[in-house]
Amino acid sequence: MRAMVKLFSSSWFAWFLLSALVSVNVGVEARVRHYKWEVKYEFHSPDCFEKLVIAINGQSPGPSIVAEQGDTIVVELTNRLLTENIAIHWHGIRQIGTPWSDGTEGVTQCPILPAQTHVYKFVVDRPGTYLYHAHYGMQREAGLYGSIRVSLPKGAKEPFAYDGEHSLLLADWWHRSTYEQSTGLSSKPFRWVGEPQSLLIQGRGSYNCSLVSGLNAAGTGSVCNATNPQCSPHFMTVVPGKTYRIRIASVTSLSALNFQIEGHNMTIVEADGHYVEPVVVQNLNIYSGETYSVLVKADRDPSRNYWAAVNVRARKPETPTGVAIFNYYPNHPKRRPPTIPPAGPVWNDTSYAIAQSQSIKARAGFIHTPPSQSDRVITLLNTQNLIDGFRRWSLNNVSFTLPHTPYLIAIHQNLTHAFNQTPAPDSYRAKEYDIFRPPPNPNATQSDSIYRLRFNSTVDIILQNANTLNPNNSETHPWHLHGHDFWVLGYGIGVFDPVNDPKKYNLVNPIMKNSAAVFPYGWTALRFKADNPGAWAFHCHIEAHFYMGMGVVFESGVDRLGKLPDSIMGCGES
């Protein structure tokens, strides 16, 4: 990013030409793309407030992985943190045949120790927009994430046309360290992480420095500097009249977001690596872990720039709008639009949220028809609970904890003492539970028990939302499945009806995704085929919620795997 800024300051036009050039597909055959990353702490000021971030090769967001379908990605990652381990998940990459490269600490690998170099190797088998991010403790929140863009191979054509493209990685940002956040979550009394201080677009936000006292805690310097170039807004330069593909990915730790470009319609054409039937929207809801491509035509008054804006949804916003500049060439890309950034739709308009999610269907010609029946239905009621006075999240009254030995290893080596062998529960007592009230008995149990799925079977997941511990409160949870895509069969409000609701499933053209939300007091029905041997996490993508137990693990076909690589070993039982 710094390099870019530097380049720009000498000649932003040169940069603009260069970026236009890069966006043209240069055809090469499937190949190995080798990345060498050093991960360490650095002082950055992404929203003008100086804070430690976990940077990759000096950058947060880290370097983008840009590849073509069929390429093999090799990331040689060296942990240069002093005392802290790492694991990185390649979000949306199914890791077919390489379940050990999924990067999920405790599920598919042991953490990477300081000074250790770990090699992730996997094939990007499908074009689309993806993410990578830390999957260990709450390191994602420290800025350890980046973008993956996979384009079509030479000669192949997208089912839509555009003249150039831009990528936007969206994040939320706190000034407290992840250590403080996670310690607060596991303290008595419970300390919630709170709403983020800033929203970042491509790693850039803008905190109001007047809210911070002049000196940092140590009294050694100013911690907030509104003129720091690191926090000048990101800009996307467009030529009037041209159409752009904007790849938008959300790696937020907490916030559901709404994205818009002031005064411009957007046409949604891709979601989570799948083409969708074009939908024109004025703004886009995007939940943590989701990715979209939208087409935007630069068809407005070209004499000025426009705001690209993100606003918090689904939680009462306490965070200012995050902005980037939609820059009409030849206006100066740092020229601020003359308007106030748009505020987005009302944060708690759930009907609007559901309607937009429901409107997204697989694109004709690219439909993967789901199996008409499932072999097993797993209903997951999520509740907020108290365990020994600690606040936790549970599924069917079980709050998930990661074991010390990664499941993939434990199952493959038959280490039956490494985790609880009792199957996790497939359902809850729906008739006895009132999802509209706080849990009558908030006690739950903690367990590292999992779901073992018959290989190649078809599984339905019903995410059933409920009231939290606070009266009249139910939250939106973005769920993410590792190793597979699922079909989104339907959304509803209230208690899922196992007799009637399945009759309304969309089995014709459901979108396939790896991440989908369950809405307040609602349910979301998903279907997937357990056809990828491995152990795979399925969890709420809110980092604090997964830390508090809101996740499960699916195993299938591990017995079909050959020898596991030594590189994922080194912790827990053996």
* Site residues (vs a second copy, CB under 8 A): 40-43, 49, 52, 82-86, 110-111, 113-116, 136-139, 174-177, 179-180, 182-184, 187, 191, 194, 197, 211-213, 216-220, 223, 404, 570-572
531 CB-near residues (< 8 Å, 6+ apart): 455, 456, 484, 556, 557
Please identify which residue in the block is written with the tokens 């006292």.
Answer: 213
Which CB atom, from 61 or from 196, has the smaller least distance to a second copy? 196
In the complex, the smallest distance separating the C-beta of residue 134 from a second copy, rounded to whole angstroms, is: 9
CA–CA gap between residue 66 and residue 198 (Å, rounded): 27
Which CB atom, from 507 or from 571, has the smaller least distance to a second copy? 571
Which CB atom, from 111 or from 370, has the smaller least distance to a second copy? 111
Which CB atom, from 86 or from 516, has the smaller least distance to a second copy? 86
In the complex, the smallest distance separating the C-beta of residue 560 from a second copy, rounded to whole angstroms, is: 29
Which CB atom, from 52 or from 239, has the smaller least distance to a second copy? 52
Which CB atom, from 112 or from 395, has the smaller least distance to a second copy? 112
- Per-residue HEC secondary structure of 402-464 comes to CCCCCHHHHHHCCCCCCCCCCCCCCCCCHHHCCCCCCCCCCECEEECCCEECCCCCEEEEEEE
Which CB atom, from 219 or from 440, has the smaller least distance to a second copy? 219
In the complex, the smallest distance separating the C-beta of residue 364 from a second copy, rounded to whole angstroms, is: 46
In the complex, the smallest distance separating the C-beta of residue 534 from a second copy, rounded to whole angstroms, is: 22
Assess contact for 164 and 286: CB atoms under 8 A. no
Please identify which residue in the block is written with the tokens 């040169």.
Answer: 14
In the complex, the smallest distance separating the C-beta of residue 230 from a second copy, rounded to whole angstroms, is: 15
| Tokens standing for residue 100 | 């050990």
CA–CA gap between residue 376 and residue 230 (Å, rounded): 50
Q: Which of 90, 224, 250, 258 is nearest to 172 (CA)?
A: 250
In the complex, the smallest distance separating the C-beta of residue 541 from a second copy, rounded to whole angstroms, is: 18
Residue 101, CA distances (Å) to 109, 115, 452, 453 in order: 8, 19, 20, 20
In the complex, the smallest distance separating the C-beta of residue 53 from a second copy, rounded to whole angstroms, is: 10
81 CB-near residues (< 8 Å, 6+ apart): 39, 40, 41, 54, 114
Q: How many residues does the chain have?
A: 574
Which CB atom, from 442 or from 572, has the smaller least distance to a second copy? 572
Residue 570, CA distances (Å) to 12, 109, 185 in order: 48, 9, 28
Which CB atom, from 199 or from 238, has the smaller least distance to a second copy? 199
Assess contact for 520 and 350: CB atoms under 8 A. yes
In the complex, the smallest distance separating the C-beta of residue 55 from a second copy, rounded to whole angstroms, is: 10
21 CB-near residues (< 8 Å, 6+ apart): none
Assess contact for 79 and 115: CB atoms under 8 A. yes
In the complex, the smallest distance separating the C-beta of residue 220 from a second copy, rounded to whole angstroms, is: 6
Which CB atom, from 197 or from 283, has the smaller least distance to a second copy? 197
In the complex, the smallest distance separating the C-beta of residue 515 from a second copy, rounded to whole angstroms, is: 24
